[in-house]
Structure 1
Amino acid sequence: MRETSNGQTKQVVPLSTVISSIVRSWVPIIIAGIVVYIVYYLTVHVYNILPHYLGNYEYLVKLALALVIGSLLIYVTSRDINKALYPYDPHTATALKFIFQFLIALAMMIFIVASVVQYSPAAAALSGTVIGLILGLAFQQTLNDVISGLVLLISKPFKPGERITFLTWRYGLLRAMYPTEGTPNGFTGTVIDVGLMYTTILLDTGEVAKVPNAVLKDSMVISRTNTVRRMVRVRLDLPTKVPIDDFENTLRELLISDGIKDV
């Protein structure tokens, strides 16, 4: 049981139950993939219902099945975790979802590489270096985002549900007209989820931002959730006939009457 902010208690689903539910959701997807491959193999190689030359594209069939099955596994895993665990423990839910997504993606890559090597070992050996260089350049940023997401989950600079401001040189903002009114080059919002490649943030402006994990890892993060006091700067234009001393005294009295201290 876990107590909520309104004093009520809710039943927290055990982690083992969540994992068991995920595995049960995997079973029909994996079985469906196996059945599709068996049907393809029988119709092409055994009963010759389909043209025999389609057997030359078996690795493409395996590639398509791996992508479809992997995508479905990631979807049902995220769905089950969000439904069973996220309302009670967002951080554990995010970490568990990230781990499952990473393992599924890794298994997909291993299966695809193994299928290509099995189909043509000689071609795979000859083109391995070139393919490795191409994939390394193509997926450099992707791998950086994945690893950065893992670093964020381990180091915990912020948690789902926490309101933060992140400052980064990658996304520029328009500066104020006067230098004395310059504000930090940052974005403020509430963290919704830390995914495999992106962190989802609900900005104060109402938009939902998908920020690459690598950007957040290299950013300065300011926590707003645990902030007790903060300075607020407000610019007011007054007519020249208004005495500044009288205005300051009147404004100070109004702020103090509203419960604001140390004015």
Structure 2
Amino acid sequence: MTSARRLWLLAISKVAVAVVASYATYQLVKFLDFHLRLGITPDIYGALIALITVVTGVVVSNIIGNTIIIHLKPTLKERAFSVGNVVKILGFLFSVIIAFTIGRVGAEAAVLGGTVTGLILGLALQPVLGNLFAGLVVLTTRFVTVGDVVRIASTGLPYQWAFLPAYKYFSPDYIVPGYKGRVVEIGLFYTTLILDTGQELRIPNSILLNSGVVDYTPKWSERKIINVRVELPLSIIDFDRLEEEIKEVLSEFNVIAVDYTEQSDKDHVIIRIKIEVPEDADWRDIKSKALKSVLKYRESKILDKFYKYACLTRGVLCDAFNKQLQRSD
């Protein structure tokens, strides 16, 4: 027996158990009413049938939806969750329609019960219903989709970037303050992201729908560019050839530009190197390799002009530097 067939047989058995349990619950109520003379009216029986139908429909929809997710996950991967959740939503709505159809709830009782119940549940379940309807909007409008790499910027998700010590925030670049990760599941009440750090972040759908979303998935987005910064001593820089030398050092990367951003002090300048990241490449790996190459370049330049660097930048070995200048003259 294949695993898929075994999976569906298990799902069918669970559905059968749920249906039998609901029917047994209804018969138990009738049995107690008959023997204990509870005096249950037809309207109450209708409401009971509707309630049992809705509960059974929710359970069955969850069973079928989860089975579809497990069955499709090897082929559709994360997108299987979207298919399964849509089946669950349709099942929930169908259950409510069937409940009112077979429950034979009178119009007056339905209106009265619906009004009272709506007021109570509307106040008590406002956050839950808000997340539910927000989830429906996210799923139907494809506000975000499973597999997208996004950054969520919202006041509802407190986020603080590092700005102390000062060198960690010594950057002229624009920063989007929010959590970045890959969307792995869009549920009825919350959406799950796997962050860059590998942690799992669950965002309530109501917050997600009211958030700004930066989509890094290359659909309409422009090319992905990272910045590599390095502090270079002014004493070792050849201003006329610096850009050429750095591009030569980083010849294996697609260097877009080399900029002088600003001076960190009177003896050093910050160089920013813009590198385009290939679509399927890991930007962390690209940035790490590029920074390593630039740091080696800086070390070689310091060693090549050691006495000049020691004298003009560090204020030591100036005698040796002067002798070197005299010999070069």
Structure 1 length-normalised TM = 0.66
Alignment map for 1:193-212 (pairs within 5 Å): 193-212=185-204
SS of the residue corresponding to residue 191 of structure 1 reads strand
Is the radius of gyration larger for structure 1 or structure 2? 2
Q: 1:133 is aligned with what amino acid?
A: L
Task: Give 1:88's match in structure 2, choosing from 66, 75, 78.
Answer: 75
1:156–1:244 CA distance, 2 compared to 1 (3 A): farther
The residue number in structure 2 matching 1:190 is: 182
Structure number with higher relative contact order (C-alpha < 8 Å, ≥ 6 residues apart)? 1
Q: How many Å apart are 1:128 and its aligned residue?
A: 5.7
Determine whether 1:231 maps to 2:225. Answer: yes
Change (3 A) 1:58 1:184: same
Return the alpha-carbon distance in structure 1 between the equivalents of residues 249 and 116 of structure 2: 71
Match of 1:137 among 118, 123, 130: 123
Cα distance in 2 between the residues matched to 1:65 and 1:245: 81
Q: Quick one: structure 1 residues 132 and 65, their matched pair in 2 at CA, closer, same or farther if it must change by over 3 Å?
A: closer
Counterparts of 2:140 and 2:237, CA distance in 1: 52
Unaligned ranges ≥5, structure 1: 1-12, 14-18
* Whole-angstrom CA distance in 2 between matches of 1:126 and 1:83: 42
- The alignment of Structure 1 onto Structure 2 pairs a total of residues equal to 240
**What is the rounded CA distance, in whole Å, between the counterparts of 1:142 and 1:245 in structure 2?**
63
Per the alignment, residue 142 of structure 2 pairs with: 156
- Give me the whole-angstrom Cα distance separating, in 1, the residues matched to 2:74 and 2:125: 33
Structure whose residues are more often strand by fraction: 2
Cα distance in 1 for partners of 2:211, 2:242 equals: 38
Residues 81 and 93 in structure 1, CA contact (< 8 A), matched pair in contact too: yes
1:106-117 → structure 2 map (5 Å cutoff): 106=93
Q: Identity rate of aligned residues, in percent?
A: 25
Counterpart for residue 220 of structure 1: 212
C-alpha RMSD over aligned residues: 4.4
In the alignment, residue 249 of structure 2 is paired with which amino acid?
Answer: L
Superposed displacement of residue 220, structure 1: 2.7
Number of the residue aligned with 1:102: 89
* Consecutive unaligned residues in structure 2, runs of 5 or more: 164-168, 258-329
TM-score using structure 2 length: 0.55
1:137 Cα deviation from its structure 2 partner: 2.6
Report the CA distance between 1:87 and its aligned residue: 3.5
String of CA shifts for 1:99-147, please: whole Å, max 9, x gaps: 332244446667889999969x77x876764543332233333333222
Mark the CA change 1:211 to 1:63 in structure 2 (over 3 Å): closer, same or farther.
Answer: farther
Change (3 A) 1:130 1:39: closer
| Cα deviation code 1:140-160 (max 9, x no counterpart) | 333332222222223224322
